[in-house]
């Protein structure tokens, strides 16, 4: 049964305050779920009242866009569709094995969009992000290509992912940017350095991915040794055994606040973001309908100013062990970091 959730502005669109990040269904955290399970999660979100679905060409090297297109295209008028270009899978050796490549050249962006439209089974993508800024290509050139796609009616608005405030402003001078997406949660506060303020200044919506800290804030990942061998968290410093053991200690006061509020730990993480600013739109991902419904319940959680202050104090950039990305991942993003702030 569809519920009318609280709405927030996503560029020119009104969407549910919490959206669905679709990546987990096809990518990053181990073996993808079955097509049937992916369909269950997507339809459960739509039927519950979610109107913001976020995918990308990278996820499963096209498989996630294909899944979203197959399951949701017949309901296209009921939701806002976001996808991404600029980071895709490419068969460099001609052996059928694709590797992740960042490529922001205009011709690549346009070709990726054409492929995405086919996979998504739609005539237009509502919000199309540059997934990563290709630092070999001026941001003005990449955004210029996206603006041509807007003029051609293939996308309705432009987004950027993992960029700094200065890069956002450069891009916005070429064409209005509807949304900026980056990681934001209690344990990743980088957007607080400059990007959140820049978004408010320019009228850009802020989309928070990994809002439950890649599962950390849910409280049920107690042993990183249980992660799938292909889980991307294995390469992230915060999830190395020593750092993760230290980080688990931060959950004790956090869990106590969740119990005080009478909500789940995941709901508390999402409610913290929703209370931070009405310009913030979290997009948690999950492979479970049960977890999906729990996430959506965060929209009913109310936090006092004192509880918000205590949450800010219990988990933050000053007490989390480990960087969010390894050296390669750090080199690929353009976000501000606290060491350089």
> Which residues are catalytically annotated?
59
Answer yes or no: are the C-beta atoms of 80 and 126 closer than 8 Å.
yes
Q: How far apart are CA 65 and CA 84, in angstroms?
A: 10
Give the residue among 84, 69, 40 at the shortest CA–CA distance from 286. Answer: 40
Q: How far is CA 232 from CA 99, 207, 312, 326, in A?
A: 14, 21, 27, 11
Residue entry with tokens 């866009």 = 65
Whole-angstrom Cα distance, residue 202 to residue 169? 8
């Amino acid at each position: 049964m569809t519920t009318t959730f609280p709405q927030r502005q996503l560029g020119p669109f009104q969407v549910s305050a919490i959206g669905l990040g679709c990546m987990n269904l096809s990518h990053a955290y181990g073996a993808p779920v079955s097509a049937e399970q992916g369909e269950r999660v997507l339809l459960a979100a739509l039927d519950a009242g979610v109107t913001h679905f976020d995918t990308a060409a990278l996820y499963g090297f096209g498989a996630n866009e294909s899944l979203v297109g197959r399951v949701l295209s017949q309901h296209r008028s009921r939701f806002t569709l976001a996808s991404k270009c600029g980071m895709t899978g490419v068969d460099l050796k001609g052996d059928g094995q694709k590797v992740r490549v960042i490529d922001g050249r205009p011709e690549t962006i346009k070709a990726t969009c054409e492929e995405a439209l086919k996979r998504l089974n739609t005539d237009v993508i509502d919000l199309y992000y540059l997934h990563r800024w290709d630092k070999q290509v001026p941001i003005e050139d990449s955004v210029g290509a996206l603006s041509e796609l807007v003029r051609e009616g293939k996308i309705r608005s432009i987004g950027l992912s993992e960029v700094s405030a200065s890069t956002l402003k450069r891009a916005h001078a070429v064409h209005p940017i509807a949304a900026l997406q980056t990681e934001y949660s209690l344990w990743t506060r980088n957007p607080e350095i400059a990007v959140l303020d820049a978004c408010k200044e320019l009228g850009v919506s802020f989309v928070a991915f990994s809002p439950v800290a890649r599962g950390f804030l849910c409280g049920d990942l107690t042993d990183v040794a249980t992660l799938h061998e292909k889980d991307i968290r294995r390469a992230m410093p915060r999830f190395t055994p020593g750092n993760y053991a230290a980080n688990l200690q931060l959950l004790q006061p956090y869990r106590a606040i969740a119990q005080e509020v009478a909500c789940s730990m995941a709901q508390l993480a999402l409610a913290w973001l929703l209370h931070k600013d009405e310009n913030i739109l979290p997009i948690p991902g999950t492979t479970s309908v049960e977890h999906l419904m729990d996430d959506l319940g965060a929209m009913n959680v109310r936090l006092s100013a004192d509880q918000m202050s205590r949450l800010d104090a219990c988990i933050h950039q000053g007490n989390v062990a480990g960087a969010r990305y390894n050296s390669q991942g750090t080199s690929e993003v353009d976000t501000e970091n606290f060491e350089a702030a």
